[in-house]
Structures are given as C-alpha cells and as structure tokens.
C-alpha cells in the first residue's frame, strides 16, 4: 500500500501516534530496569556500595517497578498501535488517551523521585498513601494506585468504545473482556490488612492473575493481530486459535494461582490444587510446538520484518523455557518447600518475565519502527546486514539466559547450605551467601547483567536507525489474505 515513502509521525494513524509515546517511555523504563538491577546486583558483591544512600531495597524496588510499568506501557502502546487498523475507525477519545498517557507518565516520575529521595516513611497509613506501599511489585503508593486504575479505565473506555463504533472482531472481544480483568484485578491489591496471610493471599491475585492470566491474554491478542498483519495468517484461523489459547491458558492458569498458596498460612488443599495445575500448565506450551511445526511446514511465510519475527521466535522459546521448564522445575510443593524464597525464584523470574513479555514488546517496537520509517523492507539484505539488531538480540537473550543460569547456581547453593544443612536459620542464610558457589553465581549474574545492558544500548541504537537508508518497500503478505477473507 506504500506508494510514496511517508515517514515519521505522518506515517501513523491517531492511535499509533499515541502508541509511540507509550513505546518511548517504555524503552526509557526498560533502561531504568536494567540500570537499577545492575546497582542492586552490584550491592550483592560489594555491600558497602551506596550503603545508607541508595540502599539495596531502593534499587531493587525501582528495578522491579520499572519492569512492571514498562511492560504495561508496552502493552497499552501495542493496543493503541493496532486498534484503528483492527476496528477500522479512529480512536474515540484520543485526547482522553493522551491525557491518561501524561497523567500516567508524570505519576511514574513522581513515584520514582519519591522512591529515590524520600525512600521510606514512619509506620503510618500516610506513608502507604504517599511514599510506598511496601508490597513487592506493587510498591507504588496508594495515590498512584488510584491513578493507575483511572488510567486503565480510560484505556478500557477507549478500546471498548472504539470497537463499538467501528468493526467488532474476535480479537476485539477477547481484548475488551480482558481489560475489565486487568483493571479489576488491580483493585484486589489496594487495601491494608494487619494479617500477613490475608495480605499475601490477595496480593497474589494481583501478581499471579495479572501476570499469568490477563497479561498472557493481552499478549495473545497482540500476537494474533501481529500474525494476521505481518505473516498474512487467515483471520478465522487466528481467532479460533486465540480462543483455544485462552481456554488452555486460563483453564490451567487461574487455579495455577494455587502454587503461590503453599506456605502463606493457607489451607493444605492448595498443595494439591497448586501441584495439579502446575503439573499441567506446561502441557499447552508443549502442545503449541505442534502448531508451530504445522504452520512452518504448511505455509511458506515470508516476513518483511526480520527483527520482529526473530523477537517473536525469542518469545516462543523464552516463554517455553522461562515459564515452562523453569516453572515446572520448582512448582511441585515437594520441591518448592526448599526453593521458595531463594535465588531460585529470581532465576525463574528473570527468564519468565523476559521470555514472555519483554520479547513481545520488543517485537512490537520493531513493527512500529518499520511503519515509522515508511514501511520499508526490514527483511533480508539490510544496508548494514542488520548487524545491530542481530547483536542486540543475541546480547539481550544471552544476557538474560546467562543471569538465569547464574542465579540458578546461587539458588541451588542456598537450598544446599541454607535450607538443607543449616536448618533455614539466619546464620544459615549468611553462610550460604558467603559460599564460593553462591558468590560465583552472583559475579556471573553481574557480568551477564552488563551484557544485557550492552544489548539494550544496541537495541535503542538500532530502533533509532534501522531502515533509515532503506528504500525498498516492504512487501506484506497481509493485504492479499485480509481482503480475500
């Protein structure tokens, strides 16, 4: 469809103009995530580094909060990216979407500044409202929680109203229902209880049901649209498979929540429920291999966007290993009682979050970059042979996999020394922390962290330059298929 090469903002529709703002902030936060992760990681090796100035607790909080927010920004951006195309009409409340974007962004800046400067408050409810809530991943103070829900509701309104005005589709239906859950689940994390068990019970509703249910479905919707647009897959097939995926994912994932209810004071039937669904959770991932093989054999896909396709493949592998293999390795309660609360969880966390979500967002960044550059060819024969995206892909994936392996060594050392030999006491904890294997793991984690950072810089450089000097238009297989259907 690209007759003349139109680039930059002019090449985008309204939703996409908003989307690139979200992407820009997402990338900045991705950088912050890596930076603060490196600071926190370095403090394992040199505990006096920034001690009493920016303590581990602060660095770690910014590290994981930046991750949650950049992924959310990436998802919201991705959906604004596809919505006008998918609905066949303009975003209904674009100005409202812009307002929500600025509110959200300014709120994030204020929250991070308060994290870094004020850090902690007295043990009163005001601290939880204005400084930090002190609950992992959702440390954002309560005022920001309210803001996040308002922004998510605006986003929901925009998505639902746009589809209602324009064209409704299977993807749209799943997306709209899922967004109700995305906003709704967040509410379960917004109350205070002195009862730690009650606190963690509902906290997991936000963390698990967001991450392992609603986010997965969001990614499924984005992927479905991506398959139709970039590979020319037939809409009816993609929609059917989106439904199949939702059934399998939520069928095993909702009660998979049980594997977080083993040790927090909750009744013992959760061991069975959690163990059962954990054992079955990887089966859909494994079964999807069959579908991928079938597709690769039956269709001859030619993609004009190699980096996006490569990141989608990284997503498939990352999800399989990070969530599937690394998940099942320690979700049976008989194993988890040893590994829970050690670097084992950190190992799984790094691999699974990156594999399932970071990869997907990066793929969409490349889809966006292509249009921004005027729909030029991102396929074979790029001007510089595409070395930047290839190296960024290698360094980022290699870095994260390396960190995962290193943390696994440290985690195993903890199980061995702290849990099994030393009786899970404080002295046992510190004995494990000083063990040579544990420390080696931490050193390697740090080195692979720098590798990840290098990959990040290269990724940003590549996104800013890829296809600038390219003149060949991209040939999308999509138009043919879409109009035939």
Kindly identify the residues of this chain, within the stretch 410-429, that bind other proteins according to CB under 8 A: 412, 414-416, 419-427, 429
Residues 321-350 within binding reach of other proteins (CB under 8 A): 324-326, 328-330, 332-335, 337-343, 345-346
**Alpha-helical segments (H) within 415-435:** 426-433
From CA 208, how far away is CA 296, in angstroms rounded?
32
- CA-CA-CA-CA torsion sign (428, 259, 191, 56): positive
154, 157, 152, 215: which is closest to 184 by C-alpha?
Answer: 152
The distance of closest approach from Cβ of residue 409 to other proteins in the complex, given in angstroms and rounded to an integer, is 12
* Residue 275 interacting with other proteins (CB under 8 A): yes
* Residue 431 interacting with other proteins (CB under 8 A): yes
* Residue 198 interacting with other proteins (CB under 8 A): yes
- Region of 21-29, 94-102, 284-292, 304-312 interacting with other proteins (CB under 8 A): 284-292
The distance of closest approach from Cβ of residue 112 to other proteins in the complex, given in angstroms and rounded to an integer, is 14
- Region of 98-106, 194-202, 443-451, 463-471 interacting with other proteins (CB under 8 A): 194-202
Q: What tokens appear for 104 in the block?
A: 């959200």
Longest dimension (CA), the chain: 70
Give whichever of 17 and 208 is closer to other proteins, judged by the CB atom: 208
From CA 133, how far away is CA 140, in angstroms rounded?
6
* Residue 289 interacting with other proteins (CB under 8 A): yes
Asked if 104 and 146 touch (Cβ cutoff 8 Å), the reply is no
Asked if 59 and 36 touch (Cβ cutoff 8 Å), the reply is yes
The distance of closest approach from Cβ of residue 106 to other proteins in the complex, given in angstroms and rounded to an integer, is 23
Determine which residue in the list 261, 357, 366, 448 makes contact with other proteins, applying CB under 8 A.
261
From CA 171, how far away is CA 225, in angstroms rounded?
8
Determine which residue in the list 250, 364, 393, 459 makes contact with other proteins, applying CB under 8 A.
250
Determine which residue in the list 287, 383, 464, 468 makes contact with other proteins, applying CB under 8 A.
287
Determine which residue in the list 210, 320, 353, 365 makes contact with other proteins, applying CB under 8 A.
320
Give whichever of 127 and 465 is closer to other proteins, judged by the CB atom: 127
* Residue 241 interacting with other proteins (CB under 8 A): yes
Give the angle 289-238-9 at the CA atoms, nearest 5°: 110
Give whichever of 130 and 391 is closer to other proteins, judged by the CB atom: 130
Determine which residue in the list 149, 237, 454, 460 makes contact with other proteins, applying CB under 8 A.
237
Give whichever of 317 and 457 is closer to other proteins, judged by the CB atom: 317
Determine which residue in the list 88, 134, 394, 473 makes contact with other proteins, applying CB under 8 A.
134
Residues 298-317 within binding reach of other proteins (CB under 8 A): 298
Give whichever of 268 and 384 is closer to other proteins, judged by the CB atom: 268
* Residue 57 interacting with other proteins (CB under 8 A): yes
Residues 6+ apart with CB under 8 A from 268: none
* Residue 201 interacting with other proteins (CB under 8 A): yes
Q: What tokens appear for 360 in the block?
A: 């997907």
The distance of closest approach from Cβ of residue 325 to other proteins in the complex, given in angstroms and rounded to an integer, is 5
From CA 403, how far away is CA 452, in angstroms rounded?
9
Provide the terminal-to-terminal Cα distance of the chain, rounded to the nearest Å. Answer: 18
The distance of closest approach from Cβ of residue 101 to other proteins in the complex, given in angstroms and rounded to an integer, is 28
Please give the C-alpha separations between residue 34 and each of 71, 424, 455, in angstroms, as whole numbers: 13, 31, 11
Residues 23-52 within binding reach of other proteins (CB under 8 A): 40, 43-44, 47-48, 51-52
* Residue 483 interacting with other proteins (CB under 8 A): no
Determine which residue in the list 9, 99, 106, 293 makes contact with other proteins, applying CB under 8 A.
293
* Residue 136 interacting with other proteins (CB under 8 A): yes
Give whichever of 106 and 247 is closer to other proteins, judged by the CB atom: 247
Residues 107-126 within binding reach of other proteins (CB under 8 A): 119-125
Residues 363-402 within binding reach of other proteins (CB under 8 A): none
Asked if 83 and 93 touch (Cβ cutoff 8 Å), the reply is no
Count residues contacting other proteins (CB under 8 A)?
126
From CA 410, how far away is CA 393, in angstroms rounded?
26
Neighbours of 4 (CB within 10 A): 6
* Residue 269 interacting with other proteins (CB under 8 A): yes
Determine which residue in the list 131, 206, 310, 367 makes contact with other proteins, applying CB under 8 A.
131
Residues 437-456 within binding reach of other proteins (CB under 8 A): none
Q: Which residue has the tokens 């989608």?
A: 312
The distance of closest approach from Cβ of residue 251 to other proteins in the complex, given in angstroms and rounded to an integer, is 4
323, 332, 263, 358: which is closest to 68 by C-alpha?
Answer: 358
137, 37, 46: which is closest to 400 by C-alpha?
Answer: 37
From CA 407, how far away is CA 445, in angstroms rounded?
6
From CA 178, how far away is CA 4, in angstroms rounded?
38
Please give the C-alpha separations between residue 61 and each of 134, 232, 335, 414, 448, in angstroms, as whole numbers: 9, 41, 28, 22, 20
* Residue 247 interacting with other proteins (CB under 8 A): yes
316, 397, 372: which is closest to 23 by C-alpha?
Answer: 372
């Amino acid at each position: 469809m690209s007759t003349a090469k139109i680039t930059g903002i002019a090449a985008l529709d309204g939703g996409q103009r908003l989307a690139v703002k979200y992407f820009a902030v997402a990338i900045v936060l991705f950088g912050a995530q890596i930076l603060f992760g490196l600071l926190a990681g370095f403090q394992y090796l040199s505990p006096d580094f920034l001690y009493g100035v920016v303590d581990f607790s602060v660095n770690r909080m910014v590290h994981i909060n930046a991750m949650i927010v950049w992924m959310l920004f990436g998802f919201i951006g991705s959906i604004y990216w596809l919505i006008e195309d998918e609905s066949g009409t303009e975003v209904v409340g674009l100005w409202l979407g812009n307002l929500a974007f600025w509110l959200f962004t300014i709120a994030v800046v204020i929250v991070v500044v308060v994290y870094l400067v004020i850090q902690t408050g007295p043990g009163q409810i005001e601290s939880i409202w204005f400084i930090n809530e002190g609950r992992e991943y959702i440390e954002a103070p309560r005022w920001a929680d309210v803001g996040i829900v308002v922004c998510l509701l605006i986003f929901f309104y925009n998505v639902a109203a746009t589809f209602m005005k324009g064209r409704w589709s299977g993807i749209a239906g799943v997306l709209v229902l899922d967004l109700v859950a995305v906003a709704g689940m967040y509410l379960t994390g917004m109350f205070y209880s002195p009862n730690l068990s009650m606190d963690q019970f509902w906290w997991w509703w936000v963390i698990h049901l967001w991450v392992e249910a609603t986010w997965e479905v969001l990614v499924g919707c984005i992927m479905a649209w991506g398959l139709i647009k970039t590979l020319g897959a037939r809409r009816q097939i993609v929609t059917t498979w989106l439904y199949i995926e939702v059934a399998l994912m939520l069928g095993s994932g909702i009660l998979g929540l049980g594997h977080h209810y083993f040790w927090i004071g909750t009744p013992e039937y959760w061991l069975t429920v959690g163990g059962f669904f954990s054992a079955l959770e990887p089966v859909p991932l494994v079964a999807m291999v069959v579908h991928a093989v079938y597709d690769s054999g039956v269709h001859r896909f030619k993609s004009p966007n190699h980096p996006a396709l490569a990141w989608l493949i990284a997503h498939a592998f990352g999800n399989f290993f990070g969530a599937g293999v690394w998940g099942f390795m320690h979700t049976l309660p008989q194993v988890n009682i040893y590994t829970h609360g050690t670097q084992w969880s950190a190992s799984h966390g790094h691999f699974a979050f990156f594999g399932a979500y970071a990869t997907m967002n990066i793929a969409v960044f490349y889809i966006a970059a292509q249009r921004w550059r005027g729909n030029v060819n991102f396929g074979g024969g790029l001007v510089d042979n595409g070395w930047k995206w290839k190296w960024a892909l290698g360094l980022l994936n290699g870095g994260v996999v390396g960190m995962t392996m290193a943390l696994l060594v440290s985690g195993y050392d903890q199980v061995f020394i702290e849990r099994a030999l030393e009786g899970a006491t404080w002295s046992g904890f510190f004995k494990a922390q000083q063990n040579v294997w544990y420390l080696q793991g931490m050193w390697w984690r740090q080195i692979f962290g720098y590798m990840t950072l290098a990959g990040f810089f290269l990724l940003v450089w590549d996104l800013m330059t890829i296809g600038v000097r390219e003149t060949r238009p991209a040939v999308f297989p999509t138009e043919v298929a879409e109009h035939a259907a």
